[in-house]
Amino acid sequence: MVTSANAATAPPEVLATWVQGHWEVENRLHWVRDVTFDEDRSQVRTGNALRVMACLRNTAITLLRIHGHENIAAALRHHARDTTCPINLLLTAWPTTLPDPWDRSRPAGLRSSAMTNQSPFRTYRGRSWITRACGFETTTHHDYIEARFTLETRSVAWSDIQDFEIRRNMFSGEFVVVRLSSGRRLGLPNIDSRSVASVKNEGQALRELWEQLRGPDWTPLQR
C-alpha cells in the first residue's frame, strides 16, 4: 500500500483498517463475481446488457448475504435445486416497511450510512439494498476520493480536483459533482438529496477535506 500520509495521520492500526477494508470488498464481491459467476468469460456485450447483468449479479449476491449465506456458490446450488427458493428469497428480503427517502428527521450525514465523525474520511453507501447491490459508493481517502459504480471505479487524487459543485436533476434532486483538472465533471454516488440529509453540509465537508489534502503546490487552472 502506497500513501503520502505521515505516521501521525496513519498509524499502523489505521493502515491495517484501510487494507482490510479494500480486501473485504475484493473477497466478498469481486472475487465472487469473477470466480463463482465466471463473469470474465461472459459473452454478453450488446448495448447496456453488460451493465444490467453486473447489476443482477450484485443483486443476487446481496440478497444471499442478507439471508446469512457466506458461501455464495453453495447458496446458488441450494436455490437451483428448488424453484420456490429464489421466489421466497425475493419476497422475504424486501422490508415490510420502507423508509421514506425524503425523510429529514435523521441527523445530517448519517442517512447514507456514512462513517462516524471521529474520522474525516467517510464512505457513502445507498440506503436501499438495490443501490448497494449495484455497487454505488463514494469513499474519501487520504490521497484520493473514490467513486464506485457498477462496472468501474474512478479514483481521483485531491490535487486533480478543481472544485466541488452542487447540481440538481429530476431524479436525484441536489447532488455533489467534482470538477476535474481535465475539465470534465464526475458525479459522486450517494451524495444527493435521496441519500443524505443535507447535500450542502456534505459538500462543504468534502470541500474542507479537499482544501487540507490537495497539497501546497495546488493551483487553480485558468478557465
- pLDDT by residue, tens only, the chain of 223 residues: 667 777 777 778 777 776 666 555 555 667 888 888 888 888 888 888 888 888 888 888 888 887 778 888 998 998 888 878 887 777 665 544 444 443 444 443 334 444 434 467 888 887 666 666 667 889 999 899 999 887 778 899 999 999 999 998 876 689 999 999 988 899 998 898 888 888 999 999 999 999 999 988 898 887 6
**Are 82 and 139 members of one domain?**
no
Quote the pLDDT of residue 108: 39
Quote the pLDDT of residue 149: 80
Q: Per the domain annotation, does 110 fall within a domain?
A: no
* Largest Cα span, the chain: 63
Quote the pLDDT of residue 30: 75
Q: Per the domain annotation, does 101 fall within a domain?
A: no
**Are 84 and 140 members of one domain?**
no
First to last CA, the chain: 35
Q: Per the domain annotation, does 33 fall within a domain?
A: yes
Quote the pLDDT of residue 57: 87
CATH number at residue 155: 2.30.29.30
Q: Which candidate, 145, 128, 129, places its Cα nearest to that of 66?
A: 129
**Are 84 and 128 members of one domain?**
no
User: Which domain covers residue 26, as residue numbers?
Assistant: 12-93
Alpha-carbon torsion 3, 216, 177, 175, what sign?
A: positive
Q: Per the domain annotation, does 22 fall within a domain?
A: yes
**Are 89 and 129 members of one domain?**
no
Residue that finishes a domain, picked among 36, 71, 93:
93
Quote the pLDDT of residue 97: 40
Under 8 Å between Cβ of 197 and 107: yes
Quote the pLDDT of residue 38: 86
Under 8 Å between Cβ of 179 and 162: yes
**Are 143 and 207 members of one domain?**
yes
Alpha-carbon torsion 150, 155, 158, 160, what sign?
A: negative
Quote the pLDDT of residue 84: 80
**Are 77 and 32 members of one domain?**
yes
pTM: 0.54
Q: Per the domain annotation, does 1 fall within a domain?
A: no
DSSP state of 13: H
Number of domains in the chain: 2
Quote the pLDDT of residue 195: 83
**Are 128 and 204 members of one domain?**
yes
Q: Per the domain annotation, does 104 fall within a domain?
A: no
